[in-house]
Structure 1
């Protein structure tokens, strides 16, 4: 087939994007774009921000040209329900009216789940601070293309304080861990197929470490760490996992999704 055309939906407002660029080297959308181009160099990408009405209107008017849509991660929290967050949810809902194949990562999963009738709340068992350990793919997940060539139990970059607490109608759970029951799901909404991941195949651990460092004061204020020793032990753990992670293992889901778009 011809080169893929992918719409990338930025998950951050400008201020948060500036933090991501400073800490992780790229905005959430550009970071995802860079990964897609490593995996499929001929891909055409277009980045929009749902907070900008002109960009969403243009994307919806040209929706038939895209082979797939990616909703990226971001720093907002659904239950704050600001006007900007409402625009993110509305755009996802509008996308569902078209025959789209959607990959929704972290914040993107929470936005798409909410738009499809699910619920998002603060994680009952805590947060993923830079890493998700021992994510278990269930039987449904093992038979789904998104986890082709993925280890049945894996550890991944992740950063989230909230979780999908109630699945959208007819959603199928694909993976879980001890922090969030919903780590991977698939569901249909309107005319669209959505695959959601509550972790980051698009980020590396060194980026997560920089994001953690930039949020250190807030993490202590929110009591995500009980002491400096607790914090340093967590940093050391992520550094040790960084030695074990390779590109193909980390990015497996994005590669599988792009291959799916080509079929």
Structure 2
């Protein structure tokens, strides 16, 4: 597994032994030796053999206790949008994503994780050093990817392109998927059916999805929390559509571009009942105008119902009224795709990046290979 090295002392010892034998020649008879002398010589020979053959590891893997997995988490909202969420009692999108990735890492590979949360939609954003991270998470956003002249969208697309070029694994929901597709040359447009809100029903894996590692342990048909009005229309060559439903053509995709890979979902595994309730509350007037509720009071009643079920998920009567099943109520099932992302993309990348070379000259070479290889 490791490259083997022979120390200079061992090499010299080997050289002197060979030289002595050559000088004696085959005509010199061996001297008689006592049993004790023979034993001492055997011990010395074993010691020399070990010195000659025991390898000095050239590359070492750092354990999780020495170096945690680190994520770069992107909050796709502009500050006014984040303020609206916080005012309505919702967790900001980036924080939701960070919490999900940390928990998924623990549950998937038993490792602890850290993260840096950034806001590239804000003015004056400067991209961080991507070599510090083993995975990138992209949250949703109230922005539209197809509004490609929006400075916030431009800044985030630049960051997505840098991440692809660097080769760090990426995972994203909703806006995150759409941004990755557009960055790689695909097309995002408004959904002709309007807004898919609350729960996306009967998402179905296609053949590629059923075979893809992102969906290990996931049922072939499932529901998922959703809130979007745009959708992916065209995936560029090298991208793979994995799931769809009757409302949205592309519910998930795997995107390979430049040196990187992005696993993306149109739905939201980071939401739970409480967070979906708060999101609906924050957009109660908009959703009423769109016809999801006859009035704001009805919207508030539905939010209260979600909150009640969030407090006690065993309430089958409430789950029946809303029509929610374990697809969205069971956290392990709901976040299956995220755990698989950690297992199949982040962890292999992490292990490569943690290989520490034996000297400074090799470090730059190892850093480059870490950036270029993609699981």
- TM-score normalised according to structure 2 size: 0.64
Q: CA RMSD in A?
A: 2.4
> How far apart are the structure 1 equivalents of 2:181 and 2:276?
24
1:249 aligns to 2:314 (yes or no): no
Worse-superposed segment, 238-247 or 249-258: 238-247
Evaluate the alpha carbon distance shift between residue 151 and residue 243 of structure 1 in structure 2; reply closer, same or farther with a 3 A threshold. closer
Evaluate the alpha carbon distance shift between residue 72 and residue 135 of structure 1 in structure 2; reply closer, same or farther with a 3 A threshold. same
Task: Give the 5 Å matches for 1:141-180.
Answer: 141-180=209-248
Worse-superposed segment, 78-87 or 249-258: 78-87
Structure with the greater alpha carbon radius of gyration = 2
1:77 aligns to 2:77 (yes or no): no
Which of the numbers 227, 238, 259 marks the counterpart of 2:294?
A: 227
1:185 match: 253
- Work out the number of aligned pairs and report it: 258
3-state secondary structure, aligned to 2:323 = helix
1:205 aligns to 2:273 (yes or no): yes
Evaluate the alpha carbon distance shift between residue 210 and residue 53 of structure 1 in structure 2; reply closer, same or farther with a 3 A threshold. closer
5+ long unaligned stretches in structure 2: 1-62, 107-111, 306-319, 349-375
Q: Work out which structure has the larger RCO, using CA pairs closer than 8 Å and 6 or more positions apart in sequence.
A: 1
Evaluate the alpha carbon distance shift between residue 258 and residue 90 of structure 1 in structure 2; reply closer, same or farther with a 3 A threshold. same
1:50 aligns to 2:120 (yes or no): yes
Q: 1:93, 1:115 within 8 Å by CA — same for their partners in 2?
A: yes
3-state secondary structure, aligned to 1:164 = strand
1:259 aligns to 2:343 (yes or no): yes
Which of the numbers 166, 172, 185 marks the counterpart of 1:98?
A: 166
1:68 match: 135
Q: Give the superposition deviation at 1:75.
A: 1.2
1:87 match: 155
> How far apart are the structure 1 equivalents of 2:269 and 2:82?
19
Q: Give the superposition deviation at 1:64.
A: 1.7
Evaluate the alpha carbon distance shift between residue 21 and residue 239 of structure 1 in structure 2; reply closer, same or farther with a 3 A threshold. farther
> How far apart are the structure 2 equivalents of 1:213 and 1:154?
25
1:122 aligns to 2:190 (yes or no): yes
> How far apart are the structure 1 equivalents of 2:159 and 2:251?
23
Higher share of residues assigned strand: 1
5+ long unaligned stretches in structure 1: none
CA offsets, 1:34-72, max 9 Å, x none?
A: 122223351011111113576543x2xx21221111111
Q: Give the superposition deviation at 1:153.
A: 0.5
